[in-house]
Structure 1
Amino acid sequence: MAELQKPRTLEGKIAIVTGASRGIGKAIAFDLALRGAKVVITYSSDRSKAPVEQLISQIKVEARSSAIGVQCNLQHLSAPKEIIDASIQAFGNHIDILVNNAAAISANFISDITPEYFEEIFSLNVRAPLLMVQAVHPHLRAPGRIINISSVAARNGYPGTGTYAASKAALEGYTRNWAAELGKDGTTVNAVEPGPVESEMLDQVDPKTVEAQKQQTPVEQRVGKTEEIAEIVGFLAEPRSSWVTGQCLSASGGYATY
Structure 2
Amino acid sequence: MPANNTPRTLEGKVAIVTGASRGIGAAIAHDLASRGAKVMITYSSDRSKQPTDELVAKIKSETGSGATDVQCDLKDPSAAKQIVDATVKAFGLKIDILVNNAAVISDKKIEDITTGDFDEVFYTNTRAPLLMVQAVLPHLRRPGRIINISSVGARAAYPGVGLYSASKAALEGFTRNWAAELGKDGTTVNCVNPGPVETEMLNKVDQSIKGPQFEATPIEKRAGRVEEIAEIVGFLAEGRSSWVSGQCISASGGHAVY
What is the TM-score when the length of structure 1 is the normalising length?
Answer: 0.96
Report the Cα distance in structure 2 between the residues aligned to 1:161 and 1:212, rounded to whole angstroms.
14
Q: Is residue 163 from structure 1 mapped to residue 141 from structure 2 by the alignment? A: no
Report the Cα distance in structure 2 between the residues aligned to 1:83 and 1:66, rounded to whole angstroms.
16
Report the Cα distance in structure 2 between the residues aligned to 1:104 and 1:77, rounded to whole angstroms.
16
* 8 Å contact kept, 2:21–2:43: yes
* 8 Å contact kept, 1:156–1:256: no
* 8 Å contact kept, 1:158–1:257: no
**What's the CA shift for 1:114?**
1.5
Aligned residue pair count = 256
Residue matched to 1:15: 15
**What's the CA shift for 1:4?**
4.3
For residues 37-82 of structure 1, give each alpha carbon's deviation from its aligned partner in whole angstroms, at most 9, with x where no partner exists.
0000000001111111111111111011110110000000110111
- Give ranges in structure 1 of 5+ residues lacking alignment: none
**What's the CA shift for 1:205?**
3.4
**What's the CA shift for 1:199?**
1.1
Amino acid at match of 1:112: D
Report the Cα distance in structure 1 between the residues aligned to 2:93 and 2:33, rounded to whole angstroms.
19
Amino acid at match of 1:229: I
Report the Cα distance in structure 1 between the residues aligned to 2:219 and 2:240, rounded to whole angstroms.
27
> Comparing 211-220 with 47-56, which one deviates more in the overlay?
211-220
Report the Cα distance in structure 1 between the residues aligned to 2:212 and 2:154, rounded to whole angstroms.
19
Residue matched to 1:37: 37
**What's the CA shift for 1:110?**
1.1
Relative to 1, partners in 2 of residues 1:138 and 1:28: Cα closer, same or farther, differing over 3 Å? same
Q: Alignment RMSD, CA only?
A: 1.5
Residue matched to 2:138: 138
- 1:34-183 paired onto structure 2 within 5 Å: 34-183=34-183
For residues 187-232 of structure 1, give each alpha carbon's deviation from its aligned partner in whole angstroms, at most 9, with x where no partner exists.
0000000010011222233456544432221011111000000000
For residues 133-174 of structure 1, give each alpha carbon's deviation from its aligned partner in whole angstroms, at most 9, with x where no partner exists.
000001000110000000001111111111111110100000
- Give ranges in structure 2 of 5+ residues lacking alignment: none
What is the TM-score when the length of structure 2 is the normalising length?
Answer: 0.96
Amino acid at match of 1:99: V
SS at match of 1:243: coil
Task: Give structure 1 regions of 4+ aligned residues with deviation exceeding 4 angstroms.
Answer: 206-209
Report the Cα distance in structure 1 between the residues aligned to 2:157 and 2:213, rounded to whole angstroms.
14
For residues 106-133 of structure 1, give each alpha carbon's deviation from its aligned partner in whole angstroms, at most 9, with x where no partner exists.
2111111221111111101110000000
Q: How many percent of aligned residue pairs carry the same amino acid?
A: 69
Report the Cα distance in structure 1 between the residues aligned to 2:25 and 2:5, rounded to whole angstroms.
20
**What's the CA shift for 1:5?**
2.3
Relative to 1, partners in 2 of residues 1:180 and 1:25: Cα closer, same or farther, differing over 3 Å? same
Report the Cα distance in structure 2 between the residues aligned to 1:205 and 1:196, rounded to whole angstroms.
10
**What's the CA shift for 1:98?**
0.1
Report the Cα distance in structure 2 between the residues aligned to 1:114 and 1:210, rounded to whole angstroms.
24
